[in-house]
Structures are given as structure tokens and as C-alpha cells.
Amino acid sequence: MNDTLKQLYNRFYTPLSMTETEQEIEDCHKQLIERLEKPERKLVLRIMDNQGLIAEGRSMDSFYCGFKLAWELAYELNHFETDRHPFPAEEAERDA
């Protein structure tokens, strides 16, 4: 099921356009490369990579939760007529 949801995610998810933010990140990254020594640069890159992985995981988790909610709502709507309690007016019509 996870593979199917990943395929749905990849098919229907459209990333937000964040060109201004991405440019700012790139500019900050260039400044850090100029100011830091190699070990510190590697550490910063690891932090950035891990933050990207976290963001990707959260995005997929959000998609899965939304899909599950939609699935449950669809199930509820498909069974609404058979499981719901009649309104008092409907009971009166049946009794008449």
C-alpha cells in the first residue's frame, strides 16, 4: 500500500514555487562556503540534507493523512444512507 501511495503522491503532488526562498538559501550557502573551513562546511551540508529529508518525509506523511481522511470520508458517504438515523419528519412519513 505504501508503494501505491508513493506513486499517487508523485503523480498528484505539485511542489510549491519557492524561488525567492530557494535563492536566499543558495546565497546563504555560498556565504557559508566562503567563511567556513572544510569540516564545518560538511557539517552544514549534512544539516541541510537532513532538513530536506525531514521536509520530504513530512510532506509525504501529510499526503498519506489527507488520503486516509478522503478515503474514510468516501466510505462514510457511501454508507450514509444505510447507517444514518432517520430524521423525525422521515419517521412520521413512515408511520403514516
Rg of the chain on CA atoms, in Å: 25
In a domain? residue 9: no
Task: Please state, in angstroms and rounded to a whole number, the distance separating the CA atoms of residues 27 and 31.
Answer: 6
In a domain? residue 60: yes
Q: Of 4-8, 68-72, 80-84, which range is least confident?
A: 80-84
pLDDT class for 84, splitting at 50, 70, 90? Answer: low
| Residue at grid coordinates 468516501 | 74
Q: Provide the percentage of residues in the chain whose pLDDT is more than 90.
A: 33
Per the structure, the complete domain to which residue 71 belongs is given by 19-95
Pure H helices in the chain: 2-12, 19-35, 38-78, 80-83, 88-95
Q: Calculate mean pLDDT across residues 77-83.
A: 73
- Decide: pTM greater than 0.85: no
In this structure, what C-alpha cell is assigned to residue 93?
Answer: 412519513
In a domain? residue 48: yes
Domain count, the chain: 1
Task: Please state, in angstroms and rounded to a whole number, the distance separating the CA atoms of residues 29 and 45.
Answer: 9
In a domain? residue 43: yes
In a domain? residue 42: yes
In a domain? residue 1: no
